[in-house]
Structure 1
Amino acid sequence: MKYISYTLCTFLCWMIVGCEDILEKEPLALISTTNAYITEADATRAVTAAYHPLMANNWCCGAWGNSGFMHWVLGNVASDDTEKGGESGSDQLYAQQVSLFNIPSDNDATRFAWSSQYIGIRRANLVLDNVPDIEMDADLKARYLAEAKFLRAWYYSNLVKTFGDVPLVLTTELEAYDLTRAPKQEVYNQIIQDLQEAMAVLPAEYDDAERGRATRGAAQAYLGKVYLYLNDFPMAEEMFGQVINSGTYSLDPDYYGMFLREGENSPEHIFQVQFHNDQGAQPANNQLNTVFASRARNGWGFNLPTQDFVDAFEEGDPRLNHTVYKTGDVMPDGLIANVGNSTTGYLNKKYYVPEYERVGGALQPGRDDIYMRLGKVMLWYAEAANENGNTQEALDALNQIRERAREGNPDVLPDITETDQDALRELIWHEQRVEFGQEFERFYELVRQGRAGEVMRGYAEKYNTAKGSGYTDGVNEIFPIPQAEINLSGGVLSQNQGY
């Protein structure tokens, strides 16, 4: 036994020492930063990779798909516009917790929101750190760097409005958990700088081969939105006005059509996440088409429009039937709708997939997510103009939206003539709710307007429901920092108040 033990020990020592050179070799398949940024093609791949986390923004969790920002939960379900849906309250519990404002620090929606955006930020930083040293066409290099700045600003915009103060990571030498949380104004200052620098370089348009990349108009529109969130109404009006007056965009006369596949790249679209329309080996499909679809039609039945949202539409407003559908409705493909077990009786029509769009019968075609469009810009412009005392400009923009919405029917949606600033503000807020309903803005808009608590507790009382009843002013305007990130930082990251 001693001989065997000695022999075994000798063998193991030989293996440890003798194999050291083999074991410590760099993995052959690993691309390091020293050899990944050499050619123009490398720069192209790096910028494309920085866009990829945008695609993960529509679903969660784990094996069910890309873990992403969860706009539908944080922007919709947290508001009075939608109920969670699904089979039961425990189906995707993270969404139920958000709906009830009983949100633990290990909530999946906030955890993936944090991680996905910092993945995007790191990839943008990789471009900004490494592409300047690549020998390539100077104009293309400048554009790629501008795209990376736009994307970093986009990801940080999501983070700061969701979590408040967040680590400001501007280099690949650091990770979010290495830093303390920067004050949100400092984060906003960086977002503004990135968007301003991007705006100065980005083109107004691209050819079809590169459509979907950030444009000058996208940078202007998001810069206007940042100023709006900071209550800097003069700058918001100016930036939104530049988009409107650029001549690059126009209101699509077919309101519903611009949400269908054939309406992609509508003249109204300013920035959207583009998906492939195939079912190949590596399909890039929009999972929300399945997430929001009826359980009676092989969907998952989440994100159910509420009766309160439906009742917000004025009588005869065509946008209602373009935004929600109920059992018995005739759908664009001629099928009769069945909303299955929807507890509200409604589903989101903007993500309905007609039969003629389905590839191989799947509910997940390459339908784009439209995040910025002219209709939003014009109503945010109207709000800013009203706050600045430019009443006629506000009314003009507001009424252009209503004119498009009425679809030629003079008996609905009459022009607004209100000139009192407070009354007009309420009318503009109402128009925003119905014009871009179910487009993931509502909760953040309520917070920005300073009325989230009032609206959500009022909803709970009106409908005798737990949804919204737990909203606490001074706490629930933002969401908890993921506990996993606090643990990873060794306590350097602090938790938001009330969580």
Structure 2
Amino acid sequence: MKHIIITFSILLVLSAGCKRDFDAANPNAPTIESFWKSSDDAVKGINAAYGTFYRTPALYSRWIYYHGILKSDEGFGSGGDGGLNNLMRFNQTNYNEGLTALTWETLFVGVFRANQVIANVPGIQMDETLKRRIIAEAKFLRALFYFNLTLYYGRPPLQLTPSQTTDKPANATTQEAYAQVAQDLNEAIPDLPERYTGTDLGRATRGAAYALLGKTHLQQRNYQLALDAFSWLVTGPGRQLYALTADYRDNFIVTKENNSESVFEIQFNENQAENTDDDVDESRVNNTGTSIAQFFGPPAVGFNDGAARRWLIDEFLQESTTTGARDPRLAASFIFNNMDPRGPEFSMVYGQTFASRYGNGPNANGVWFRKLLNDHWKNEEGFRSPNNYRIIRYADVLLMYAECLNGLSRTEEAYPYVDEVRVRAGLPTLTSARPGLNQEQFLNQLKHERIVELAGEGWRWADLLRWGDLSPALANRDPEFEGFIPGKNEYYPIPQRDIDLNPNLTQNSGF
């Protein structure tokens, strides 16, 4: 049921480092000159760029969720991983710490692979439509990698050609980095298809590029540019391609992947490359599943390395549906003692009741993020989850579109797009529940709407950063924010080893 066939091996050889005389040719290794010759090479090259998603553990296999979810006030390091727990407390003294340095490194592996495609595919004699599409996909992927680099590190160097050992690029400013992301996406959009079928499902689409472009502008609070990008999906041609699913939960289960609400999602397979279900790294085999379910899974079924803050539950309980029921998104988003309103004796956790698993013990009040888990079909987690990660959903686009309208002082026009999301959850429309909000009140309402719609999906840190809400004051929700230092902890440190190798790189403020 999974759709992109990932071809890693050729470009892994081209990009791997080893200790040897770099002036001497390796007669057993493919070279750039011998590789980029055919349409098949071009496809292998772009597939290798997608393959960066699966490098364990730094990106979408595991750690990207730590950065977007656990570091925010939604979550925390709840297990025995001391490095993770210190990072979530904003206590980092080792700037080469794997959680931050390896994520940086892996994102640049993705940039390198995309750059190879962009530089070499234009010279291949092949079908021109496919050529343009592959180059556009590479620009989308480079944009996605740089979006993450800018979101989490603030000032990445811009490397826009295949890197050489002599390259020593300086930091870009945050604005320059986001401008490059926007440029790549604008150049990619005309040559990206609106949709794919068959084995190509999961590749970058035009809608995905418009959505990421909108996110890029919105993150800088450039509301008009963001609105223009989102308009393609909300009021333009994309309106015929995307729609909210009838059942909210369908966005988080393996049997409903690539549905009408999916704008872009990472495709995962239950990896069968080894005989045991163990954590794997790319030096041995690529894990085409994701290991995050094992690390976010609650005790007895997973490692419980990351969990949710309980204040989130209260956020969902602020309103009832039009029939007086509880917001159905609550139980779809979290595992906790009252997933079933009747209590822990009726709330099921991987085939057992919450009461039987955790009783009155230390986990009795625990809350765990559910959307990336597999409790709907398994009784325990593992390292090779096939559950796709939906990076961008149409509901997210609708809420961002409303945020843009409100930011442009067009608050009244923004109501219908929030209403679409609320009605799907069974809530009364915002138009009827809270008419006449001013700009500031509407933004505060949107902050609530994004929590209850998108909790545990990886966008909370970006939201808090964009709104200027990151501060020690969040400690009333998340005690870890007592260690937050404004002007420093908005971004991670740049790895010290990169600065040591490149005299043109400078460290982020406060580190």
SS at 2:32 equivalent: coil
- Cα drift, residue 373 of structure 1: 0.8
Partner amino acid for 2:475? Answer: A
- Cα drift, residue 342 of structure 1: 4.6
Contact 1:72/1:303, CA 8 A, preserved across alignment: no
Q: What is the distance in 1 between the residues matched to 2:363 and 2:76?
A: 9
1:63 is aligned to: none
Per-residue displacement from partner, 1:363-388 (whole Å, max 9, x unpaired)? Answer: 63311111011011110111111111
1:388 is aligned to: 408
1:54-73 matches, cutoff 5 A: 54-56=53-55, 59-60=57-58, 70-73=63-66
Q: What is the distance in 1 between the residues matched to 2:373 and 2:60?
A: 22
Structure 1, unaligned runs of 5 or more: 1-22, 61-65
Per-residue displacement from partner, 1:398-456 (whole Å, max 9, x unpaired)? Answer: 111010112xx769997442431110110011111121011111122111111111xxx
2:279 is aligned to: none
Contact 1:304/1:344, CA 8 A, preserved across alignment: no
> Paired residues, what number?
457
Per-residue displacement from partner, 1:154-204 (whole Å, max 9, x unpaired)? Answer: 000001111112110000144696111112222222111110011111000
> In the alignment, is residue 249 of structure 1 matched against residue 269 of structure 2?
no
* TM superposition score normalised by structure 2: 0.83
- Cα drift, residue 472 of structure 1: 1.4
1:494 is aligned to: 506
Contact 1:160/1:166, CA 8 A, preserved across alignment: yes
1:13 is aligned to: none
Q: What is the distance in 2 between the residues matched to 1:494 and 1:410?
A: 51
2:340 is aligned to: none
Q: What is the distance in 2 between the residues matched to 1:263 and 1:176?
A: 47
- Cα drift, residue 263 of structure 1: 1.2
- Cα drift, residue 255 of structure 1: 0.7
Structure 2, unaligned runs of 5 or more: 1-21, 275-284, 320-325, 338-343
2:296 is aligned to: 292
- Cα drift, residue 27 of structure 1: 3.3
Per-residue displacement from partner, 1:48-77 (whole Å, max 9, x unpaired)? Answer: 0001112237x45xxxxx797822222112
Pick aligned residue for 1:431 from 441, 449, 455: 449
Contact 1:68/1:116, CA 8 A, preserved across alignment: no
Change in 2 beyond 3 A, CA 1:39/1:300: same
2:331 is aligned to: 321
1:236 is aligned to: 226
Partner amino acid for 1:178? Answer: K
Partner amino acid for 2:487? Answer: G
Q: What is the distance in 1 between the residues matched to 2:431 and 2:374?
A: 28
Q: What is the distance in 2 between the residues matched to 1:343 and 1:486?
A: 46
Pick aligned residue for 1:402 from 422, 441, 460: 422
Pick aligned residue for 2:384 from 364, 377, 402: 364
Pick aligned residue for 2:195 from 205, 216, 224: 205
Partner amino acid for 2:288? Answer: A
SS at 1:371 equivalent: strand
Q: What is the distance in 1 between the residues matched to 2:62 and 2:174?
A: 19
Pick aligned residue for 1:442 from 447, 460, 466: 460
Partner amino acid for 1:473? Answer: P
1:7-156 matches, cutoff 5 A: 26-56=25-55, 59-60=57-58, 70-87=63-80, 91=81, 93-104=82-93, 105-156=95-146
Q: What is the distance in 2 between the residues matched to 1:141 and 1:317?
A: 47
1:410-421 matches, cutoff 5 A: 415-421=433-439
Contact 1:114/1:159, CA 8 A, preserved across alignment: yes
Per-residue displacement from partner, 1:7-66 (whole Å, max 9, x unpaired)? Answer: xxxxxxxxxxxxxxxx99743431110111111111000000001112237x45xxxxx7
Q: What is the distance in 2 between the residues matched to 1:411 and 1:179?
A: 51
Pick aligned residue for 1:350 from 343, 368, 371: 371
SS at 1:396 equivalent: helix
Partner amino acid for 1:285? Answer: G
Pick aligned residue for 1:267 from 260, 266, 273: 260
Q: What is the distance in 2 between the residues matched to 1:307 and 1:353?
A: 21
Q: What is the distance in 2 between the residues matched to 1:380 and 1:411?
A: 17
Q: What is the distance in 2 between the residues matched to 1:411 and 1:164?
A: 37
Q: What is the distance in 2 between the residues matched to 1:447 and 1:411?
A: 28
2:482 is aligned to: 469
Change in 2 beyond 3 A, CA 1:48/1:390: same
SS at 2:457 equivalent: coil
Contact 1:85/1:302, CA 8 A, preserved across alignment: yes
Per-residue displacement from partner, 1:184-233 (whole Å, max 9, x unpaired)? Answer: 22222211111001111100000121000000000000000111011110
Q: What is the distance in 2 between the residues matched to 1:256 and 1:476?
A: 34
- Cα drift, residue 99 of structure 1: 1.7
Q: What is the distance in 1 between the residues matched to 2:477 and 2:376?
A: 38
Change in 2 beyond 3 A, CA 1:67/1:115: farther
2:17 is aligned to: none
Change in 2 beyond 3 A, CA 1:451/1:356: closer
Change in 2 beyond 3 A, CA 1:414/1:102: farther
Q: What is the distance in 1 between the residues matched to 2:173 and 2:76?
A: 33
Q: Which structure has the greater CA radius of gyration?
A: 1
Q: Which moved more, 1:228-237 or 1:350-359?
A: 350-359
Per-residue displacement from partner, 1:76-128 (whole Å, max 9, x unpaired)? Answer: 121110111113xxx2x332222211122222221012101100000000001
Partner amino acid for 1:286? Answer: T
Change in 2 beyond 3 A, CA 1:186/1:458: closer
Change in 2 beyond 3 A, CA 1:121/1:178: same
Partner amino acid for 1:303? Answer: G
Q: What is the distance in 1 between the residues matched to 2:196 and 2:43?
A: 15
- Cα drift, residue 262 of structure 1: 0.5
Q: What is the distance in 2 between the residues matched to 1:28 and 1:132?
A: 26
1:215 is aligned to: 205
1:485 is aligned to: 498
Partner amino acid for 1:98? Answer: L
- Cα drift, residue 130 of structure 1: 0.7
Contact 1:212/1:271, CA 8 A, preserved across alignment: yes
SS at 2:265 equivalent: strand
Partner amino acid for 1:325? Answer: I
Q: Which moved more, 1:161-170 or 1:105-114?
A: 105-114
- Cα drift, residue 458 of structure 1: 2.5
Per-residue displacement from partner, 1:121-166 (whole Å, max 9, x unpaired)? Answer: 0000000111111111110000000000000010000011111121
SS at 2:392 equivalent: strand
Q: Which moved more, 1:107-116 or 1:337-346?
A: 337-346
Contact 1:304/1:342, CA 8 A, preserved across alignment: no
